[in-house]
Structure 1
Amino acid sequence: MQATLIKLIAYINLHKGEEDKNKVLDDVKSNISFRGSNLWILACAIVVASIGLNVNSTAVIIGAMLISPLMGPIVGAGFSLGIYDFNLLNKSLKNLLVATLVGLFVSTIYFYVSPFKEAQPELLSRTAPNIYDILIAFFGGIVGAVAITRVEKGNPIPGVAIATALMPPLCTAGYGLALGNLKFFFGAMYLYSINCVFICISTFLIVKFLKYPVKKQLDEKHQKQVKNSITILITLLVLPSIYFAYQLFQEKKYQHQIDVFMETEFTNKGIAILYKKTKFNVSPKKLELGFLTKRYSEKEIKALNEKLKLYDINNTKLIVIQDTTDLKSDILNEINFNKSVLSQKDVTILNLKKEITNNRYDNKAILSEIKILFPEIENISISNHTFNENTDSTKIVPVVIYNSKKEISDSSKAKLTLWLEQRLTKKEIEIYNNPTKEKTTGKTKK
């Protein structure tokens, strides 16, 4: 039993593969400052992230998170708390404030001048954080802190930068400022604060666990003050996130019940639903439905409203949109438009096929016939060519290129021209001998 316990401890031992503590602290301190190159990299990363949010490109946002140096002062704050180095903590917080203000300024300017103001899903997802965002920030911060203290840093660092997602909420806050939308601004800043604080706290815990030497010994009273401050900060951030998570759960549950109601009362009975809209954040909640052909009387609508309670859909009013003419008209217009697009494509394809057919000659069959009349000809190639293009005298003339064992006489060329005019039903043909490319033009007046 004891041997098994020793093996288990060896498996989870964080001291194995640990970097020298002084070297780790030097690396952490070097990444705190936001001056020179770090500031330029941050500004560029903010622009990249803002563009990604603006055009709803997840790949671009991930790229911005990878190049962002925002983690530096946050990790520095966690280390400084763990070793009670309050000068380092003060420096880390100042640099984090500078980075935050720069990020807000750059993203606000970008979204102010950007012609695309629509809130994309990537933006909206950063405006209502919940308890899951706290868990991501906390455990992502633990991974980051553990990775920083290793001799071999490995792959976790880029993963932590992506998972904890510091850049997108900061840019979303800039979007809120640019549009004067305070709900977006405060929601995004709340998520940004969650990420910063819980990365810092998880780093603090790892530093304590690994027993980094403290910079300044604190008496029990001051240590208690630090712990109480952290506890208050965690509480202030966790409580609203729990509420948002509960709201999200309630909304998902409500939407599920609505789907069950619609499927049971309408879809399974063959009633086609043309339009659906739910309003969750009003009282009473509203469910608007429009149907393709079905019409309901006031009595039937009242009965449907009563049935909502059977599906555990409370405090909700069902509104049936009876006049769906405009909706059906939009759908029919879309269908007709798609048909028109398809028809145009079909016409284009047919025209191209026709053009290919008109310009195609069966060189093999014609060669076998020519060899009977002109045995000296070994090979031919026939294709249509356009002459005098973009003028009033544009014409399409078949051009014949032939190979022969020996040069054919002028009289044979004339006969060949006349024969080809009859065979191809063309009034004019140009013949070239390859490789000498001796030219003769046959023109027959009809």
Structure 2
Amino acid sequence: MPKRQVEITAPSGYAATLAAVGEQYGGEDIYAELGENDRCLVRIVCETNVVQTIIDATHRAMGKDAHWRLTILPVEAVVAPDQRKPEKDPEGRTFSFRGRSAPREEILQAVEKGTELDADFLVLVVLSAVVAAVGLISDNVAALIGAMVIAPLLGPNLAFAFGVALGKQDLMRRAMLTNVTGLGIAIFFSMILGNMLGGPFQSIEITSRSLAGYDTIALALAAGAAAVFSLTTGLSSALVGVMVAVAIMPPAVVLGLMLGSGDMKSAGGAAILLAVNIVCINLAAQIVFVAKRISPRTWSEKKASQKALWTNFSAWVVLLGGLATGIYFAGW
């Protein structure tokens, strides 16, 4: 299982307390030293799935007044004599759906990058829209896959779902703004391109993204869940496959092209496909975050987050039901 090194700097009087926290909650290697200015440094090497417990225990031990800082570092490898005792009862193991999960602070730092509405984000949106438009119009699958990978639209959706899980209104607002801005730019740019080219567009790639079916819902739900699993377990390489499996940029570009060329029927199909992908990503992400027990640290924060969690969950379910009904009556 992946390991992390937790480093805590604090007033020297807390050195023994922090070392005891590491020993009590699964630290495999604990080191404490006293430094200058009445400060101490405590290093705890542990498995990833106990980092969250150590962080929460550190919060309780330090209180609000102490000046301290906790840093989480990845551990590439550990070389040491194997001193583990053989397990006497391997059949006694219990399965936990939660599995291994990165601590909420580590996930938060990762998803916050997806909410940054800066020049880099805007440039990536425009470039991915250009590449997607070229790939769609010319039936160039390689270009289309490239657009799926470089499009920065998955991050804001994962950040929004994580904000819901923690009840962080500010994170939810920033993620929503970034997502709406990115989609708006992609659709607007594609509308201009569609108006210039005039249509009709007969490529297979465009036609396939003007239709939505129940298989689309299943794919989007599975890919959304996979995105969160890869995020919480630290397997970031798997996100590339998710980006291709449930891409947001291609249907957004098709929607713009169809609106610009005046093909309202195809635009409606692309809009439904785009909505299905967004709704399913968020719904699946929230389900996995709950299953992984990703929640605020304190009881009061947990209680406050429940309202946002159930409100958003209910809204996504209702939206998905409406989209499924629309697909049924459209006969796709």
| TM-score, structure 1 normalization | 0.50
Distance 1:222 1:75 in 2: 16
The 2-side partners of 1:239 and 1:220 are apart by 28
Question: What is aligned with 1:15?
Answer: 99
Kept after mapping to 2: 8 A contact 1:169/1:192: yes
Cα deviation 1:39-73 (Å, max 9, x = unaligned): 10110000000011111111111111011101011
- Pick the aligned partner of 1:129 from 200, 212, 218: 212
What is the match of residue 140 of structure 1? Answer: 223
For the residue of structure 1 that corresponds to 2:212, the secondary structure is coil
| Aligned pairs (5 A) from 1:185-196 | 185-196=267-278
What is the alpha-carbon distance in structure 2 between the residues aligned to residue 208 and residue 89 of structure 1?
17
Residue 151, structure 1, aligned to residue 234, structure 2 = yes
Q: Does residue 85 of the first structure (1) align with residue 171 of the second (2)?
A: no
Match of 1:234 in 2: 320
Instruction: Report deviation, 1:224.
Output: 4.8
> Given that residues 130 and 243 in structure 1 are in contact (C-alpha distance below 8 angstroms), is that contact kept between their aligned partners in structure 2?
no
| 1:169 correspondence with 2:255 | no
Q: Residue 69 of structure 1 aligns to a residue in which SS?
A: coil
Equivalent AA in structure 1 for residue 265 of structure 2: K
For residue 93 of structure 2, give the secondary structure of its aligned residue in structure 1: helix
> After superposition, what is the alpha-carbon deviation per residue over 1:168-212, rounded to whole angstroms, capped at 9, x for unaligned?
110100111111111122211111111011101111111111112
Q: CA deviation at 1:135?
A: 0.7
- Aligned-partner Cα distance in 1 for 2:265–2:144: 22
Conserved in 2, the CA contact under 8 Å of 1:141 and 1:199? yes
Give the TM-score of the pair, scaled to structure 2: 0.66
Q: 1:224 to 1:106 in 2, by over 3 A?
A: closer
Aligned partners of 2:107 and 2:232 also within 8 Å: yes
In structure 1, C-alpha distance between the alignment counterparts of 2:271 and 2:141, rounded to whole Å? 20
Unaligned runs of 5+ in 1: 249-446
CA distance in structure 1 between the partners assigned to 2:195 and 2:152 by the alignment: 24
Query: What is the aligned partner in structure 1 of residue 93 from structure 2?
Result: 6
Query: Radius of gyration: which is bigger?
Result: 1
Change in Cα spacing, 1:219 to 1:206, as seen in structure 2 (3 Å) is: closer
Q: Is the 8 A contact 1:130 1:240 kept in 2?
A: no
CA distance in 2 between partners of 1:106 and 1:227 (Å): 32
Quote the Cα distance in structure 2 between the aligned partners of 1:137 and 1:224: 21
Which residue identity lines up with residue 154 of structure 2 in the other structure?
A: M
Question: In 1, are the aligned partners of 2:166 and 2:305 still within 8 Å (CA)?
Answer: no
User: Which whole-Å CA distance do the structure 2 matches of 1:210 and 1:230 have between them?
Assistant: 19
* Residues 1:199 and 2:255 are matched in the alignment: no
How far, CA to CA, are the matches of 1:159 and 1:168 in structure 2? Answer: 15
Tell me if structure 2 keeps the 8 A contact 1:50–1:171.
yes
The C-alpha deviation readout for 1:111-160, integer Å capped at 9, x for no partner, is 33347643211101111201111111100011111001123423x21110
SS of 2:115's partner is coil
Question: Residue deviations 1:217-240, cap 9 Å, x none?
Answer: 238776654443233222112222
For 1:33, the aligned partner's letter is E
For 1:25, the equivalent position in structure 2 comes to 108
1:368-415 CA distances to partner (integer Å, 9 max, x unpaired)? Answer: xxxxxxxxxxxxxxxxxxxxxxxxxxxxxxxxxxxxxxxxxxxxxxxx
Aligned partners of 1:127, 1:26: CA distance in 2, in Å? 36
Give the 5 Å matches for 1:100-119.
100-114=183-197, 117-119=200-202
The answer as to whether partners of 2:139 and 2:204 remain within 8 angstroms in 1 is yes
Structure 1 runs (4+) greater than 4 angstroms displaced: 2-5, 219-224
Which structure has more relative contact order (CA 8 Å, sep 6+)? It is 2
Report how many residues are paired. Answer: 240
State the distance in 2 between where 1:225 and 1:92 align: 17
**Which amino acid letter does the alignment assign opposite residue 110 of structure 2?**
D
The answer to whether the 8 A contact 1:126-1:188 is kept is: yes
**In structure 2, distance between residues paired with 1:222 and 1:161:** 27
SS of equivalent to 1:118: coil
Assess if the C-alpha contact under 8 Å between 2:165 and 2:309 holds in 1.
no
Q: Deviations over 1:229-262 (max 9, x none)?
A: 2332221122223445xx34xxxxxxxxxxxxxx
> Retained in 1: the 8 A contact 2:283–2:313?
no
Could you say what secondary structure the match of 1:217 adopts? helix
1:421-440 to 2 correspondence within 5 Å?
Answer: none
1:56 lines up with 2:139 in the alignment: yes
Using the TM superposition, name which of 111-120 and 178-187 deviates more. 111-120
Identity %: 21
Instruction: Show the counterpart of 1:282.
Output: none
* Kept after mapping to 2: 8 A contact 1:143/1:160: yes
1:231 aligned counterpart, secondary structure: helix
Q: 1:4 to 1:186 in 2, by over 3 A?
A: farther
Say if 1:82 and 1:205, in contact at 8 Å, map to a contact too.
no
